[in-house]
Every structure is written in C-alpha cells, then in structure tokens.
Amino acid sequence: MLDLSRDAAPVACVFEANDHQWLHEQIGAVRRDPKLFWMPCFILGDADARDAPLLDGDLPPPPELKQAIDSVLTLSASFKHQEGELSRTDRLLKYLWLRPGFVIQPMHDWRHPRYYRYPILEALAGTEEDVFGWLQTLANSRTLEIEGLVDRQRECLFCHSAHLSFTDICPNCRAIAVEKVASLHCFTCGHVGEQDGFLSQGGLVCPKCGTRLRHIGSDYDRPLEHYRCRECRHFFVEGDVSARCAMCRKSMPPEDLIAHNIHSWRLSERGRVLAVRGDAGDVFSAFGELHFIANELFIHNLDWLIAQVQRYPDVQFAVLGLSFPNVPELVDVMGHGRTLSLVESFSARLRDLLRTPDLSTRTADNRIWLLLPHTDTHGLQGLLARIKKSALLTRQADGQELVCRFAEFVSTDLRELETAELLLARLRSELD
C-alpha cells in the first residue's frame, strides 16, 4: 500500500498506470482521505474511465508541474478552513476551489440504479449512497451551478431507478396477454370487428347487419391495427402502457415516472465566495424562507396538474412567477445588511400568504415560481394584490423598496400541447 505519512506533507502525487486495480484503490484512498483528498494527482499512462475523473491528468513536464503545484498551494492558503476536519461539502468546496474551471462530469454506468454516477462526489463523500441527494442540496443552495445537460431520463416514482421496462397492457383488465388481430370494417353499418367474426361459408358477411362484403374499398376495409385481450376478450385499438421498475418491481403509468435531467456541474460564484469567506452573505439566501422544492419536482407537479385540467374541466390551478430586478441596486444604495433584512421580511410575509398545498421553487437567484392548486383568476388576483401590498411594506424612509415583477397564469389560458417546461419558458419572458 502507498504510505503517505502525515508528517511528510506531500503536495502532489504521481501514479504509474501499470496495475489498474491498484491504481483504483490508491486514488480512491487519496480522495477519501480527510487530510489528503485535495492533492493534485497525476498519472503516467492511461487510467480507467472510472478513475480518470479522480485524477488531474497526465504528469506535465517539470516547469508546468511546479506551476500547477504553486497554484494549488496559493489557492489553498486562501481557502477559509485551515484547521480541523472538513464536512463533505467543505471538502468538495476545497477540491473545486483548488481547480478553477473543474467540471463535475456524470459517468454512464448501466449497472448503477440511476445509470449515472459522479465518481468525484462519491470519493469525496466516502460513500456511493445519496450522491444525488447531496447534489440536489448543493444545487438548491446554489453552491454548484449547471454546466451542461448530459441526458434526460425517466425514473421510477418509488425508488428513482432508471431501469424500467414498458409493456402494452389491456386497457380494460390490465392483463399483459394482448395480441394483435386482423379486423374488418363494414361500410354498410360501420361495424368494426375481428376478421374471424366475418367469415361465413367461405365468404365475408358482416355479423351485425348481415351484408355480404365482396369488394375491399367499396364494401369494407381493414382499419388500423386492433388488439384482443386474451384474458377478458376486450377488443381495442390502443392499449395502455405500463412502466415496470426492474429494481423495486413496482408498476406505474408512464406519466407518473419522474423526469430527471442529468447535468454536469461546476462551482458557482456563490460557491467561490463560500470557499473563501465561509458564508455566502448574499441577500438572495433570504428567499430560502419560502421552503423551495427541487425544480424537477415542481415541473412534475405542474405537468400532473396540466394533465388533470385536460381530463377534468372543473380542475383549476394558477402559476405565479416573481422576479426582483432591483436587488443589486438596493445592495449598492442600502448596503448588504439592510437589503438582506428587507428581502427576509418580504419573503416571510410571502410565505404566510401561501397555503399548505402551494408549492414554490426557484430557477435563478431572483426568479421564484409558485404553483397554486384550486386557484382561479379571482383567487390569483387576490393573492397578487396581497403580494403587491406586502412589497409596498418594504418601502424605506428614503423611498427605496423591493420591486417585484410578475408573470401570471391561470389554467384556463393553457395552450394546446403546452407542457410545464413550455409554460414556464413562455412566462419567463415576462419576468426578464
């Protein structure tokens, strides 16, 4: 085993890639080590795809190597924590802080329940479990920001596995024993049925109206594909589809699957401030009073309500987008502390205006979305008036106040084929 004595205080590490299993264990041990995790680690040769994300690339020539190490040491000196054991988030902050421009890339792994894993997050957390939950927390606190979209997938509603299979089932009894059958369409009476039912003494006779069918195209034709359930004998054109999870074995309709976007991530501006100062000190954190849910969950709920509205005409809901364009100016004029308490008091009042089933999420520092079930135009206008009144309460003696911009939507204005994402994109233009 590699012996990295604590006293020797190494500043970098070089591995030879002769034995991939050995390398895998060693680099994992360094990244999991509470004292050494941050070290630049270079490689001579090629690493496995699973280990490359934990390494800092090929060993550079001496002048560049010295430059790289100097840069890491300089940045390390400005990192906030110099003493004591770091939490996993602080370890990640330090790791990213020492590597400007580092991108946390997902790695495809078909054996993983979610098909993707983030090797560097697993190594720094010291566990493969709950990396996605941690990532969500980092995203919610805006310590990390999205670098790019790598994949979009559907996941099991119950266990988040992406290992799903889709089966056609009978829309009547939900059995899987469904078979395609040849069928005919009688022009005289409009009857559609299985071809077997039309066979009569070597010819075709409509079992409903008794007409003899001689010429295809003038007497009868073959309609779209039809199916017959072998369990309940139900005859149908379009079956239902059931999604089954290979991990937990539960079945669910495809529309209940959770949409999950797989992203690559990088340290955000806020994350960099956290690395140096230890607290973000940003006024937008005051919106946290609103108990935001993850964007994807918000989209999922919104899509669900859109489906409800299309099916049940008496279902209604509203969406309200809010943005706060003058916060940076307020900080300039009033200072950080006063702006923070002003935003805090506003969002606490906003929180009190919301009802339990109302959901909120945030898609940018100063862009908030509210999803309001059972709300019509009248209800939305009432809430809007109360929010405007609440914003007015932020007015200071010197005339400064929090400016709110709104994007309003009620479900009766839903456009054809509009999904949650399309709807939010349409409304967003009113907030910018």
Q: Given the rule CB under 5 A, which residues bind Zn ion?
A: 156, 158-159, 161, 170, 172-173, 175, 186, 188-189, 191, 206, 208-209, 229, 231-232, 234, 245, 247-248
- Phi then psi for residue 322, to 5 deg, are -130, 140
Q: At what angle do helices 327-334 and 336-353 cross, to 10 degrees?
A: 140
* Minimal distance, residue 292 CB to Zn ion, in Å: 26
* Minimal distance, residue 291 CB to Zn ion, in Å: 27
* Minimal distance, residue 116 CB to Zn ion, in Å: 16
- What tokens does 334 get? 């009033």
Please say which residue, 155 or 358, places its beta carbon nearer to Zn ion. 155
For residue 107, the Cα-to-chain-centroid distance in whole angstroms is: 17
SS3 at position 57: coil
Please say which residue, 158 or 406, places its beta carbon nearer to Zn ion. 158
Residue 86: how many CB atoms within 10 A of its CB? 20
Please say which residue, 118 or 220, places its beta carbon nearer to Zn ion. 220
Helices (H), 33-87: 62-78
Task: Specify the residue for token string 């012996």.
Answer: 3
Please say which residue, 247 or 273, places its beta carbon nearer to Zn ion. 247
Please say which residue, 105 or 251, places its beta carbon nearer to Zn ion. 251
Please say which residue, 183 or 360, places its beta carbon nearer to Zn ion. 183
- What tokens does 49 get? 């795809």
Please say which residue, 96 or 184, places its beta carbon nearer to Zn ion. 184
Task: Specify the residue for token string 């509205």.
Answer: 309
* Minimal distance, residue 25 CB to Zn ion, in Å: 32
Helices (H), 245-335: 269-277, 295-311, 327-334
Question: What is the sign, positive or negative, of the torsion defined by CA atoms of 161, 166, 171, 175?
Answer: negative
* Minimal distance, residue 377 CB to Zn ion, in Å: 40
Distance CA 305, CA 271 (A): 35
Nearest to 123 by CA among 91, 148, 161: 91
Please say which residue, 232 or 241, places its beta carbon nearer to Zn ion. 232
- DSSP string over 198-228: GEETTEEE-TTT--EE-SBTTTEE--S-EEE
Please say which residue, 229 or 350, places its beta carbon nearer to Zn ion. 229
Distance CA 369, CA 12 (A): 46
* Minimal distance, residue 171 CB to Zn ion, in Å: 8
Question: What is the sign, positive or negative, of the torsion defined by CA atoms of 404, 410, 411, 415?
Answer: negative
* Minimal distance, residue 154 CB to Zn ion, in Å: 11
Contact yes or no for 367/322 (Cβ under 8 A):
yes
Contact yes or no for 214/202 (Cβ under 8 A):
no
* Minimal distance, residue 127 CB to Zn ion, in Å: 21
* Minimal distance, residue 119 CB to Zn ion, in Å: 24
160 Rama class: left (phi>0) / alpha (psi -120 to 50) / beta:
left
